[in-house]
Structure 1
Amino acid sequence: MALTAKKEALIWKTLNDTRGKIEPAEYKNYIFGVMFYKFLSEKAQTWLDSVLGDETWSYVWGQDPNKAARFMQRNLGYVIQPGDMFSDWKKAINEDKFNIMMISDSLVHFNQGVSQEAKDDFAGIFADMDLTSSRLGANAQTRTATMMDWITLVDKIEFDDKSDVLGDLYEYLIGMFAANSGAKAGEFYTPHQVSDIMARILAAGREDMEQYSIYDPARGSGSLLLTTGSYMKNAGIRGSIKYYGQDIITTTYNLARMNLMMHGVYFNDINLRNADTLNNDWPDGLVDGVDNPRMFDAVMANPPYSLKWNNKDREDDPRFKFGVAPASKADYAFLLHCLYHLKSDGRMAIVLPHGVLFRGAAEERIRKELLENHNIVAVIGLPEKIFTNTGIPTIIMVLEKNRQTDDVLFIDASKGFEKQKNSNKLRQEDIDKIVETYLSHKDVDKYAHVASMEEIKSNDYNLNIPRYVDTFEPEPEIDIAQVKNELSDIDQQLTQSLQDFQALESQLVKTDPQDEQINNSLQNQEVK
């Protein structure tokens, strides 16, 4: 049974109460690290219970450590030695024998035991857990006490093996840390509602594909990859879906690897990289002068908006054959990178700021090339304040590589949301309406319009949504006769009120100031 919203909120409050002076952006590295180690330990223990029978892991390890290690590596890609399990940490805490070095030693052993095949997926994955940091405590004793609290806390979270509770909780906490870590720290997270729209559009009509490859070149926490994969019929079947992604931030790279594996993705189906996408094309691409990029069935991205980048000497880069984005705004550089790695029959979706629809110069030339090449399928306008790292309204642009038709669907979904305290949230009905409108590819009054290429050319290739979707709602006509009657009623009420006031005024007794002075004087004499 999945965790309820109330249970999730309680877990978040409890976690927050134990973090002390550590900022959320750093605290998440420890909590996610402990959660992920527990996940790996329990996965290893479950596997061991299924294959060892009556023998213990300690006994098998003691017979031949190298053979035992290779045995676990072949099946899991990693090794957890006897005494290093999460349950061993908890036992040591209960017996008052725990110290922070147990964690340090376990993580060292873990890194040493990762198989060569799984190096890219596990190597350095716990590097953000700095167990010597003074933020954990001034000395080893206080740092040990802090880690004991967190291990005990994570141990109390009960998971149901038959559901994706652990992965869902992990995704929930990613969102909460993003929302509470400031705008910059929230860049790694795409709200699930937006991921869901993009995933449903990308997977539409392709859910039954036996083999499916997906790529996110600005991967963040991996939520776009996971959500897209979840709509495929073979999600969870080993080898059916291949996940590719790249991100420049090392902490985010670790976060995504954990996220995918905690959602049940096998390590050998994960191909993630820690690098600069625009400066280091991957996977493959131009190698030794030969253009041979890896292509994908679906490409999705929510890149940093209007990022500054080095656009020097890019003219010969095959990714940017439609033009080079300006140095001050890398939006079209990310878009063209995505399109370059898309299969001929693939589909891509990318989140971008509105400026890409109408800005001039180099961006206008790129936009014109994309339109004349029939690549742009749809432009979907989203509400403002739905992302943790920006309050600006954004769009989802959907593109295909070898499309025959040249029209463009415009959807103005900017007004469909639920207002919250400091943000806006897309409701399920808002999400469904966007997806259903995209799939129908028809005009919807005040909401969507299919624009022909002639119409787009008449607008000088400007794709600003209000040029195509008229959402203006006229003011209701004024009934002059009714207004006259209402004014007449008001006049009558004023006249009656004035008459009532005058009647009351006439009943008041007026006192002469001189008489009042004499009366006061007489009263004073009587007192004397």
Structure 2
Amino acid sequence: MVLSKEQQTKMWAMLNQTRGQIGLTAYKDYIFGILFYKYLSEKATQWLNGVLRGETWGNVFSKDSSRALDYMKKNLGYCIRPNDFFEDWKKAIDEDRFNIGMMSDTFGHFNQQIALEAKSDFEGIFDGMRFDSADLGANAQARASVMISMIELLSTPEFDLSKGEDTVSDIYEYLVKEFSTVLASDMGQYYTPKEITDVMARILTSGREHKETFSIYDPTVGSGSLLLKTASYMKNLNKRGMIKYFGQEKDATPYRLSRMNLMIHGVEYNDININHADTLESDWPDGVVDGKDSPRMFDAVMANPPYSAHWNNKDREDDPRWREYGVAPKTKADYAFLLHCLYHLEDSGRMAIILPHGVLFRGSAEGKIRKALLEKHQIETIIGFPGKLFLNTSIPVCVLILRKNRMESDVLFVDASKNFEKLKNQNRLRLKDIDKIVDTVVNRKEIEKFSYIASLDEIFENDYNLNIPRYVDTFEEEEPIDIVALSQEMVELNQEISNTEQEFLSMLNQLAITDDSRDIIEATKRIFGEGYDKR
């Protein structure tokens, strides 16, 4: 299911009416948290309907609560006690007995009943909701009123999740995008435009769609969209355990959202490995074990890291991620992220990373890193995109595609900066633009004024500068000017102007002389000169 524009508009309008005076920044944590809990409730209800065979969950729980809880945890990774379901909140509202404590108790029970193996997937996932927060209101009654409005909103047909996981994921993705659009400075940094995500995913999976097992990793995971889009092109997407999702995120909000997003898209908790930490400060996954470096490697690595971020680069020369290349400047961590991704890439894998164009030509430490990557033949393709594709920046970005063990040394340059649809405040890649980029990269095509394959010798002659215009000439020559024809046109135009002036002055001479007409004639003389006889 794809939400219609009418559905989207109605959902967002209803949401804004519901939130009252709460700021969107605070509101988003509650709306995403409650929507996700509704999803978990309905998933648990569906599972219970299949295993209880007519018995009620309340009766089973009352007979042996520990055994009942353990059985649900074993199958779902979490457990919901009787009277703690989303529908129980709605029933309490309808019967006028709802209070804010019901929600506090529910999430307290939930956190106590997470399966050990699912701890990292569910732990802290609802921490963005504080039911004693002044953001919700000055007292318990005011806070309960806000929660009631949210629960009732999510109980409307527009937020009906019973039609399947596609519906749930569509609603979730729509809300992430809408909040990111409105709160660009707050959420935009971890929302990657779906068009660039699609380009990266199709390139990373090209030729490997039928691979039985596939591991993917995003060290700046954000909302998880890059992981999900990459996995969507694999033929074994719906086979449990076939695709393993890894990611790391420093900020708490996207760390929660990414896990919600993956599970809402039907990814089983035991296929998810998302860590909450600073990727550059804390290498993960695995890293050094018993004094021996044993990093986990992945079939595909993708990232949209913060651009030119500051980082602590002191005493990093011996870090195995950067040891062979050099350390990125402390004011520009772009290559630190790139080398981290490359370090965790399988020998047969491929990676894609979104970066600002400066990484292609800046010198000093970055120039040395770029030279090392090129001499190891690890940069395969560079794609330049149009500006204004992102929510939180208008700058154009590029995507670098790398592999660890290439025999070829050439680099494919693609200038896709001219191919897009212009919207009111943003630009957007059309499907035909995406298809052209992917086809060019996958088949390594040279297309005039669009792509070019440069040899390492050419790049060496450019002092390892990878600025795309050095290799892809997009200059459009103007048609040559016919000087003779232009001169003749000018002569004819001047003659036409002269004839028109004479006609006008002749008409002016025929005017009767009055004070007003005298003023007109004097003004005309100043414009056209004295070249006529006044009666």
- TM-score over 0.5 for the alignment? yes
Check if 1:510 corresponds to 2:507.
Answer: no
1:418 correspondence with 2:418: no
RMSD: 1.5
- Stretch of structure 1 that moved more, 302-311 or 412-421: 412-421
Asked if the contact 1:296/1:342 (under 8 Å) is kept, the reply is yes
Q: How does 1:119-130 map to 2 (within 5 A)?
A: 119-130=119-130
Q: Which residue of 2 aligns with 1:31?
A: 31
- Equivalent positions of 1:227-246 (< 5 A) are 227-246=229-248
Choose from 273, 276, 281 the match for 1:274: 276
Q: Distance in 2 between matches of 1:100 and 1:31?
A: 15
Letter in 1 for 2:39: F
1:481: how far off?
4.2
Distance 1:193 1:512 in 2: 71
Question: Cα–Cα, structure 1 residues 108 and 493, in superposed 2: closer, same or farther, change >3 Å?
Answer: same
Secondary structure of 1:396's aligned partner: strand
Question: Do residues 478 (structure 1) and 481 (structure 2) align?
Answer: yes
In the alignment, structure 1 segments of 5+ residues that lack a partner are 514-528
Retained in 2: the 8 A contact 1:175–1:191?
no
- Distance in structure 1 (CA, Å) of the matches to 2:400 and 2:26: 33
1:151 maps to which residue?
Answer: 151
Q: C-alpha distance in 1, partners of 2:236/2:9?
A: 32
- Residue aligning to 2:191: 189
DSSP-derived class of the 2:44 partner: helix
Which residue is 2:303 aligned to?
301
Tell whether the 8 Å contact from 1:215 to 1:296 is kept in structure 2 after alignment. yes
Distance in 2 separating the partners of 1:275 and 1:151: 32
Matches of 1:488 and 1:160, distance apart in 2: 77
Instruction: Give 1:136-175 correspondences, 5 Å limit.
Output: 136-156=136-156, 157-159=159-161, 161-162=163-164, 164-175=166-177
Post-superposition shift, 1:476?
A: 1.9
Give unmatched runs, 5+ long, in structure 2. 517-535
Q: Is residue 39–residue 161 contact of structure 2 (8 Å, CA) maintained in 1?
A: no
Aligned residue for 1:520? none
- The separation in 1 between residues aligned to 2:227 and 2:70, in whole angstroms, is 31
| Partner deviation per Cα, 1:56-97 (whole Å, 9 max, x = no partner) | 111111111111101110110001111111111111111212
- TM-score, normalised to structure 2, is 0.93
Q: 1:266 to 1:234 in 2, by over 3 A?
A: same
What is the match of residue 228 of structure 2?
Answer: 226
| 1:324 matched to 2:323 | no
Give distance in 1, aligned partners of 2:178 and 2:81: 33
- Kindly tell me the number of residue pairs found equivalent between the two proteins: 513
Q: 1:486 to 1:75 in 2, by over 3 A?
A: same
| Corresponding position of 2:472 | 469
- Equivalent residue for 2:449, pick from 437, 446, 449: 446
SS in structure 1 opposite 2:399? strand
Q: What one-letter code is carried by the residue in structure 2 that aligns with 1:168?
A: D
CA distance in 2, matches of 1:43, 1:184: 31
Q: Does 1:65 align with 2:68?
A: no
- 2:29 and 2:200 map into 1 onto residues whose CA distance is 28
Specify the code of the residue in structure 1 equivalent to 2:265.
H
User: What aligned pairs does 1:14-93 form with structure 2 within 5 A after superposition?
Assistant: 14-93=14-93
Partners of 1:444 and 1:511 in 2: how far apart?
A: 73
**Deviation at 1:492?**
4.0
* Larger displacement relative to structure 2 (340-349 or 306-315): 306-315
Tell me whether 239-248 or 384-393 shows the greater mean CA deviation. 384-393
Q: Is 2:420 the partner of 1:394? A: no
The one-character-per-residue Cα deviations of 1:124-179 (angstroms, maximum 9, x if unpaired) are: 10000111121211111111111111111111112353451211221121111112
How far apart are 1:498 and its partner, in Å? 1.8
CA-to-aligned-CA distance 1:474-511 (integer Å, 9 cap, x gap): 11222334434543443343234223322331332213
| Residue 358 of structure 1 pairs with residue 361 of structure 2 | yes
Aligned partner of 1:522 in structure 2 is none
TM-score normalised to structure 1 length: 0.95
Identity rate, percent: 57
Distance 1:512 1:364 in 2: 79
SS of the residue corresponding to residue 395 of structure 1 reads strand
Question: Which segment is superposed worse, 131-140 or 451-460?
Answer: 131-140
SS state at 1:297 partner: strand
Contact 1:358-1:364 within 8 A present in 2 as well: yes
Query: For 2:283 and 2:420, how far apart are their aligned partners in 1?
Result: 37
The AA in structure 1 aligned to 2:367 is E
Q: 2:219 aligns with which of 201, 217, 225?
A: 217
**One-letter identity of the residue aligned with 2:493:** I
1:517 alignment counterpart: none
Alpha-carbon distance between aligned partners in 1 of 2:493 and 2:513, rounded to the nearest angstrom: 32
Verify the 8 A CA contact 2:305 2:354 in the aligned structure 1.
yes
Give distance in 1, aligned partners of 2:457 and 2:148: 67
1-structure distance, mates of 2:260, 2:371: 40
Q: Higher mean Cα deviation, 321-330 or 254-263?
A: 321-330
Name whichever of 423-432 and 250-259 sits farther off. 423-432
What letter matches 1:462 in structure 2?
Answer: N
SS in 2 for 1:299: strand
Name the amino acid aligned to 2:149: D
Does the 8 Å contact 2:165/2:265 carry over to 1? Answer: no
Deviation at 1:25, TM superposition (A): 2.5
For 2:260, the equivalent position in structure 1 comes to: 258
- 1:8 is displaced (CA, Å) by 1.5
Tell me the distance in 1 between the aligned counterparts of 2:492 and 2:94: 81
Structure-2 residue corresponding to 1:204: 206
For the residues of structure 2 that align with 1:453 and 1:114, how far apart are their CA atoms?
A: 54
- Is the 1:183–1:390 contact (alpha carbons within 8 Å) kept by the matching residues of 2? no
* 1:311-342, Cα deviation, whole Å (9 max, x unpaired): 11111111112111111111111111101100
Contact kept? 1:120, 1:272, Cα under 8 Å: yes
Determine whether 1:292 maps to 2:301.
no
Deviations 1:367-425 (CA, angstroms, capped at 9, x unpaired)? 11110101000000011111122211111000001111110000011111112222211
